[in-house]
Chains A and B, each alone.
Chain A
Amino acid sequence: MFTSKQIHIVGIVVIAAAALAACAVQSPAGKPPALGTAVSAEEVARWDISIPPSGAGLPKGSGSARQGLKVYEEKCQYCHGVKGAGKPADALAGGIGSLATAKPVRTVGSYWPYATTLFDYTRRAMPITNPLSLTDDEVYAVTAYVLFLNGIVGEDTQMNAQSLPLVKMPNRDGFISDWPVRPR
Chain B
Amino acid sequence: MRNKKERHDKPDTKPDNAAAGSRRRFLKQGAALVTGAAAAGLAQRVAAQGLAGQPWERVYGAAFTRYGQPSRFEQPVMRHIRLRYGDLAPGSGVALAPIESLEGIITPSSLHNIRSHSGTPDIDPKQHQLLLHGLVARPLTFSMESLWRYPMTTRTVFLECSGNSGSALAPEPMQVPAGVIHGNIACSEWTGVPLRMLLEEAGLQPQAKWLLAEGADSAHMSRSIPIEKALDDAMIALFQNGERLRPEQGYPVRLLLPGWEGNTSVKWLRRLKATEGPTHTKDETSKYTDPLPDGRALQFTFEMGVKSVITRPSSTMTLPRPGFYEISGIAWSGAGRIRRVEVSADGGATWVDAALTGQERAKCLVRFRLPWEWTGQAAVLQSRATDEKGQVQPVRKAWLAQYSPAMSYHNNSIVSWAVGADGSVKNVYV
**Which of the residues B133, B149, B197 comes within 8 Å of A44, measured between beta carbons?**
B133
Interface residues on A, range: 35 or more
Distance in Å from the Cβ of A47 to the closest Cβ of chain B?
5
Q: Cβ of B397 < 8 Å from any Cβ of A?
A: no
Decide if B286 touches A99 in the complex (CB within 8 Å): no
Distance in Å from the Cβ of B102 to the closest Cβ of chain A?
31
Residues of chain B lying within 8 A (CB to CB) of residue A36? 132, 138, 140-142, 146, 198, 201-202
Contact status of A121 and B198, CB under 8 A, knowing A39-B133, A104-B404:
no
Query: Secondary structure of the A side of the interface?
Result: loop
Contact string against A for B residues 288-300, beta-carbon threshold 8 Å, 1 for contact and 0 otherwise: 0111111111111
Q: Cβ of A143 < 8 Å from any Cβ of B?
A: no
Separation of A102 and B405 alpha carbons in the complex (Å):
7
Residues of chain B lying within 8 A (CB to CB) of residue A125? 117-118, 218-221, 282
Distance in Å from the Cβ of A97 to the closest Cβ of chain B?
9
Residues of chain B lying within 8 A (CB to CB) of residue A47? 131, 133, 270-271
Our count of residue pairs bridging A and B at CB distance below 8 angstroms stands at 165
Q: Cβ of B85 < 8 Å from any Cβ of A?
A: yes
Of A4-12, A145-153, A171-179, the one contacting chain B is: A171-179
Residues of chain B lying within 8 A (CB to CB) of residue A116? 280
Decide if A117 touches B142 in the complex (CB within 8 Å): no
Nearest B residue to A110 via CB reads: B295
Distance in Å from the Cβ of B19 to the closest Cβ of chain A?
43
Distance in Å from the Cβ of A45 to the closest Cβ of chain B?
10
Decide if B133 touches A35 in the complex (CB within 8 Å): no
Residues of chain A lying within 8 A (CB to CB) of residue B296? 99, 174-176
Distance in Å from the Cβ of A78 to the closest Cβ of chain B?
9
Of B86-94, B162-170, B357-365, the one contacting chain A is: B86-94
Contact status of A52 and B218, CB under 8 A, knowing A99-B291, A128-B118:
no
Decide if B214 touches A50 in the complex (CB within 8 Å): yes
Decide if A37 touches B118 in the complex (CB within 8 Å): no
Contact status of A100 and B293, CB under 8 A, knowing A50-B214, A124-B220:
yes
Given contacts A38-B140, A111-B297, A178-B290, 13 further A-B contacts (CB under 8 A): A32-B197, A36-B142, A44-B133, A44-B139, A89-B88, A99-B296, A100-B293, A121-B282, A174-B296, A175-B285, A178-B298, A178-B302, A181-B303
Residues of B participating in the A interface, judged by any CB pair closer than 8 Å:
85-86, 88-89, 92, 117-118, 131-133, 138-143, 146-147, 149-151, 197-198, 200-202, 212, 214, 218-222, 226, 228, 270-271, 273, 275, 277-282, 285-286, 289-303, 404-406
